[in-house]
């Protein structure tokens, strides 16, 4: 599956795109991140979601104990959306970067740098983001339900809004 995704996107992304994603991550770091922050961030994601016209499932999870500190599922979504979100989260945990970064990096390098198994898939598509505090990944936020890169677009919009930070533009458009 990973090779198929990479081949579909071949030639679409550049080293500059990769640098833009990395710059977004540097800007979208937290001073602290508690369960209250997870709740507030989750609310911002839910508030921003209607403009994308599809339902979403959100999972915010601590790294220290894998505890789920926020979870939400729109009425139109199913439990399987949390499975997709988990695969995106696995990508973040393997790379230390957002899940779209993994796809762009694979396209730019011409090789896949992820490991996946049937029980533990890795999805290098937009929809999961690391939460860093003082250079340490403390949590992840993952969502599923949108199409064509809009999971990524919604996440960075919500993170930017919640943190009150402007970021360089990168509009995901995954086939």
Average pLDDT for the chain: 89
> Domain residues of the chain, as ranges?
2-163
Spans of the chain, pLDDT less than 50: 6, 175
Contacts with 21 (C-beta within 8 Å, 6 or more apart), sequence order: 97, 98, 100, 101, 104, 170
Residue 79's pLDDT is 86
Residue 175's pLDDT is 44
99-109 helix and 2-9 helix, angle to the nearest 10 degrees: 70
CATH number for region 2-163: 3.30.450.150
pTM, rounded to two decimals = 0.89
């Amino acid at each position: 599956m990973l090779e198929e995704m990479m081949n579909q996107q071949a030639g679409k992304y550049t080293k500059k795109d990769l640098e833009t994603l990395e710059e977004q991550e540097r800007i979208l770091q937290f001073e602290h991140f508690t369960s209250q922050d997870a709740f507030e961030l989750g609310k911002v994601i839910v508030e921003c979601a209607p403009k994308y016209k599809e339902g979403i499932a959100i999972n915010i999870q601590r790294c220290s104990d894998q505890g789920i500190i926020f979870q939400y599922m729109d009425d139109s979504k199913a439990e399987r959306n949390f499975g997709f979100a988990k695969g995106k989260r696995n990508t973040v945990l393997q790379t230390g970067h957002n899940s779209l970064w993994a796809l762009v990096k694979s396209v730019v390098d011409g090789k896949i740098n992820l490991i996946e198994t049937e029980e533990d898939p890795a999805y290098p598509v937009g929809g999961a983001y690391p939460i860093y505090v003082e250079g340490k990944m403390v949590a992840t936020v993952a969502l599923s339900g949108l199409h064509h890169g809009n999971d990524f677009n919604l996440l960075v919009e919500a993170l930017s809004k919640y943190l009150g930070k402007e970021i360089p533009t990168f509009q995901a458009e995954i086939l």
